[in-house]
Amino acid sequence: MNRKTYCLLAIICLLVFSLQAVCFAEAPARLPNVKILATGGTIAGSGATSTTTVGYTAAVAPVDALINNVPELKKIANVSGEQVAQIASENMTNEVWLTLAKRVNQLLAQDDVDGIVITHGTDTLEETAYFLNLVVKSNKPVVVVGSMRPPTAMSADGMLNLYRATILAGSKEAVGKGVLVMLNDTIHASRDVTKTITDRVDTFRAPEIGPLGFFTGDKPEFYRAPLRKHTTDTEFDISRLNALPRVDIVYHYANNTGVVIEALTQAGVKGIVHAGTGNGSIGKAEYPAIEAAQKKGVVIVRSARVGNGIVARNGEANDDKYNFVAGDNLNPQKARILLMLALTKTNNPQDIQRMFREY
């Protein structure tokens, strides 16, 4: 073969290899598209001095300020923000919940949204997260995040919480895990997590059950997954709802006479969660008010003020006889959310008891 043919062959081989390299080269992984929906809270708060960690004003900074305050976000996701509300979360309402949930479902239905972060006050963060866990219709990650110190304080926790929540919302590991709560490097299931300490950064815990995982550096590590129904397995649909049935919580204590139950019945509640003593116990003096409420169609769920453990059916009360629903191990504020959504489908205590076993 003459020299000219050799050179021609070498050029052809080079072209073929370069073409292969271009065609089969791993496309650089694109950054995930994460939407940040802000509702207020301490993570958007402002204090008078760098040591003010109580007595500051919550819900001051707009979502774009939160994003601009963490320039590192741009390295781990394509983020954009929306201000859904600007409230201290003790003022959270069913109306904000419905607006937020509809917006979350609308965004997650878009192919150009990979995950959502919701910034929120810590007081009712667990409630919003659990509500969304029961009504979001996607397996894409939804991460609710807050902070215990305002951004103006030394060692503020919000920036790193937001950064890691955004990593989590864009991660494959978080897909299908239900709505998550991420603060203080710890990843929690929205069903299990609760605020346990009034003023410390390690306040969010899942007593008895524990977290789902942790952040080690910038990497989320999961060690378990939720078993109860959530998100894509939910039977609850809020897409056409503009209001939720009224459900309130009654706290039981020594010498309680049921007067609060009477007042709530008068106010027209559709359900009452009874935060009973011990294993969800109801005082004898409460029964007249309870039976009067049930005559008006009010559904009663037995929960427990102790906050941990399972309220056993037919344990400290005859649930079969009185048509009570045993609230499993949901704390009273979570039981209220499940009962509210259950009442959008049925007021049959047996069917609602099924829901408390499944969700």
Instruction: Catalog residues that contact ligand DGL under the rule CB under 6 A.
Output: 41-42, 58, 88-90, 121-123, 146, 148
Helices (H) and strands (E) in the chain, counts: 11, 14
Q: Taken in order 292, 296, 302, 306, is the CA torsion positive or negative?
A: negative
Q: Which residue, 90, 81, 162, is CA-closest to 128? A: 90
Q: Using CA atoms, how far apart are residues 157 and 160, in angstroms rounded to an integer?
A: 6
Min dist. Cβ of residue 205 to ligand DGL (A): 15
241 Cβ contact partners less than 8 Å away, ≥ 6 residues apart: 98, 344
Place of tokens 């072209």: 15
Annotated catalytic residue within 122, 128, 152, 265: 122
* Residue 193: Cβ-neighbour burial (10 angstroms; 0-12, 13-18, 19+): buried
Min dist. Cβ of residue 42 to ligand DGL (A): 3
**Among this protein's residues, is 124 annotated catalytic?**
no
The conformation of residue 188, written as its DSSP 8-state character, comes to: E
Min dist. Cβ of residue 147 to ligand DGL (A): 6
Please say which residue, 121 or 178, places its beta carbon nearer to ligand DGL: 121
Contact present, 183 and 157 (Cβ < 8 Å): yes
Min dist. Cβ of residue 127 to ligand DGL (A): 11
Please say which residue, 157 or 319, places its beta carbon nearer to ligand DGL: 157
Please say which residue, 190 or 265, places its beta carbon nearer to ligand DGL: 190
**Among this protein's residues, is 49 annotated catalytic?**
no
List the alpha helices (DSSP H) in 91-188: 94-108, 125-135, 158-169
Please say which residue, 128 or 171, places its beta carbon nearer to ligand DGL: 128
Place of tokens 């490097």: 185
Residue nearest ligand DGL by beta-carbon distance? 121
Please say which residue, 149 or 230, places its beta carbon nearer to ligand DGL: 149
- For residue 199, the tally of other CB atoms under 10 A from its CB is 10
Annotated catalytic residue within 39, 42, 194, 234: 42
Min dist. Cβ of residue 217 to ligand DGL (A): 25
- For residue 99, the tally of other CB atoms under 10 A from its CB is 15
Token digits of residue 121: 């006050």
Please identify every residue annotated as catalytic.
42, 122
